[in-house]
Structure formats: C-alpha cells, structure tokens
Amino acid sequence: MSVIEMNRPRVKNSANTLSRAKALGKGAANLAAKTSAKASVNALAKLKKKPTAKSSRKNGKNGWRTAATSDHHELYELSVQTPKEEVEFIDKVFKSITNRLPATFREDFCGTHILSSAWVIRRPTNHAYGVDLDPSVLAWGAARRKQQLSPSAHKRLHTVQGNVLSHKGDLVDVVAAFNFSYYIFKKRAELLRYFKFARTRLKKDGVFFLDCYGGYESFSEQNEERNLDGFTYIWDTAKYNPISGEVLNHIHFKFPDGTQIRKAFTYDWRLWTIAELQELLADAGFKRSTVYWEGTDHATGGGNGIFRKATQGEACAGWIAYIAAEK
Ligand SMILES: C[S@@+](CC[C@H](N)C(=O)[O-])C[C@H]1O[C@@H](n2cnc3c(N)ncnc32)[C@H](O)[C@@H]1O
C-alpha cells in the first residue's frame, strides 16, 4: 500500500512563537509550540495558508483590517482551515482502505461548511452533507459558498440545521468530525453515543475521520499568537482542569491599529487522549481505527505537514493527528 501523506501549507511564524493552530467553527483549537518542539511550527498543521495581501488586508481606511471592518468567520477560515488538503488526505486514506474513491461526505459540526465545499469541488460526482445546530453559522456559510461555488458544485452541497446525535440523512462513504468539535462531548457515555450514531450513518465500507490535538503545552494556561498577513490570531488556553480533563479555549484576533476582537470563538471541551478515543471507537463498533501522525521537519524541529500511519508518537509540545475509523 502506498504511503499516505497530506502536505499541508506551512505557516510562517515569528522566531519564538510558532503556532500549530487549528480552528473550530464556533471556536478553534490552536496549539502553539516553541521552536524547539516538534509540534510547534506546523503542528496544528492545520495552519492556514498565509493569506494574500489582497484577501487579508482589505478593509479599513488605510487598507488594513480593523476589528470594526472584520468578520470573525472570515478570519477563522483564513486562520485555521485547510480544506483542500484535508479533502485530499481523506481521499487517499479512504482509497487505501477500500480500494475505491469516496463520493458522499457528511461533515458533522460543519459550521461554515468550507470542508464540504472543498469536497464538492474535488469531483463532479461528489456530494456533501453538512450538519450543524447553529442556524447563524450555516447562513453565513451558505452565502459565502454560493458566491464561491459553480452552480453545479453548489447543487451538490447540502446542509441541514440538526443535531449530530440524531440527524439521520443519507448513508455516506465518509463522516468527518473536524476541528475537534466532538470534544464538546465531555463524558465517556456522551462521546460513545456520538461515535455509535456516526457509525450508523456510514455505508458498509464507510470511514469515520476525526482530528485530535494534544502535547504538553495543551495543558498549559497560556496564549499563543500567530501573525498572519494583516491580523494576528491568538489561541488562548484559558483554563485546564487536570482532574476532569476539561479545557476552556478562546480565539481572539488583533489588528495593526491595536483593535481586537476578543473571544471571537470559545470552546468548552474535554481534551481527550488518542488512547481514549481509539478505545471508544472500538466500543462503538468500529472494526479498526488508525492514527495518522505528523512527521518532523528536521530543519526546524517542527511538523512537516505530512501525516503517516503510526502507533508511536512523540511527546512534543503540541501536535495534531487524524484518526480513520473503519465501520
Ligand atoms: C468548533 S465548530 C467547528 C466548525 C467546523 N467543523 C470547522 O472546522 O470550522 C463547532 C460547531 O459545532 C456545532 N455544534 C455543536 N454541537 C453540535 C451538535 N450536537 N450537533 C450539530 N452541531 C453542533 C456548533 O454550532 C459549531 O458550529
């Protein structure tokens, strides 16, 4: 079987704040790590491509963004999402498991459904189904996607305001729960219930994809900044409870004129470990789950944006990983 890789865009960080960011719909998870630690540079390698001057500096009198002229959903997408790379990764992993390409995709916790959008762009036979509880984020995404997609791709993108624990919809090849959204389920029984339900939404050879994050800095109450082109993204681990495993994270944005959007997104989660997740996936009936761990860029000591199957990780400052669970 060929090696599964996902090449992710690198993020240019300042010398001492290399953040591995990751974002979530109503919030995001961004881990930052220091240069010495592997996780750092790209770790939450779901780091966003550096936006172009054109896309990111617009607005404001002098052409730069300000808090007043910025839209937090847009900043979020610019900061932490890499949909094209993730869809490519899912394709490769799915094919390696099933020997066919997937066509139908369910994006749980879809938020602005940018991942679903990338899915329908990828192949004209692809269909995506996004599920989210929040009508406002769905509406924002719907307006944005309509502007961006061709009419034929747009027709293949479907969203519903619904609960991932109960919305059935069509059976699909792939279910994805990304940007750690399922960390919202803090108790084992709740997460097990979600995993069991997600499994029922898959076709016979379907695959459930999850991402996860960790590393010693994820237990540390600190802010990590990442300078993008025209604004700064801040991942704030505001509270971690080592007894319950609960973590409270915020995303803030800061602008060149000194204005800020504080708590643009807030995430009240449990920080699950990979071992717990794999055990729960097995309990939910998945026949196998495989972890994809990011390789190391030996020049920087950070992540290299390439995720490969692994059973041994590194105890680094911050990491993200993917899990593929086979029905
Ligand atoms: C962290 S965001 C993730 C958004 C998107 N996956 C992304 O990567 O940007 C979490 C989203 O999950 C949604 N959500 C939370 N609980 C949910 C549930 N039980 N069913 C459906 N959506 C839910 C929220 O409305 C929010 O849009």
Q: pLDDT digits over 97-115, tens only?
A: 999 999 999 999 999 999 9
pLDDT of residue 58: 53
Beta bridge partners of residue 120, listed in sequence order: none
Q: pLDDT digits over 24-47, tens only?
A: 222 222 322 222 233 332 333 343
Rounded Cα distance between 52 and 201, Å, is 38
Structure tokens at 110: 């879809």
Residue boundaries of the structural domains of the chain: 1-327
Residue 118 main-chain phi, psi, to 5 deg: -65, -30
Ligand 1 pocket, Cβ-based, cut-off 6 angstroms: 23-27, 109-111, 131-134, 137, 163-165, 178-179, 181, 184
- Is 60 exceeded by the pLDDT of residue 11? no
User: What percentage of the chain reaches a pLDDT higher than 90?
Assistant: 75
Query: Predicted confidence band at 84 (pLDDT cuts at 50, 70, 90)?
Result: very high
pLDDT of residue 226: 92
Lowest mean per-residue pLDDT among 16-20, 111-115, 164-168: 16-20
Atom 3 of ligand 1: nearest residue by CA position: 25
Task: Give the Å distance between the CA of 2 and the centre of ligand 1.
Answer: 33
Task: Give the Å distance between the CA of 1 and the centre of ligand 1.
Answer: 34
What single letter denotes the amino acid at residue 210? L
Q: Which atom of ligand 1 is nearest to the CA of 77?
A: 9
CATH superfamily of this structure's domain 1-327: Vaccinia Virus protein VP39 (3.40.50.150)
pLDDT of residue 302: 86
Q: Residue 224: CB partners within 8 Å, gap ≥ 6?
A: 17, 19, 21, 30, 31, 32, 217, 234, 235, 236
What would the mean pLDDT of 49-75 be, rounded to a whole number?
A: 67
Q: Beta-carbon neighbour count of residue 24 at 10 Å?
A: 25
pLDDT of residue 189: 98
Q: pLDDT digits over 207-223, tens only?
A: 999 999 999 999 999 99
Which among 247, 129, 235, 240 has a CA at the least distance from the CA of 184? 247
Task: Give the Å distance between the CA of 148 and the centre of ligand 1.
Answer: 22
Structure tokens at 322: 């993917």
DSSP 161-185: E--TTT---S-EEEEEE-TTGGGG-
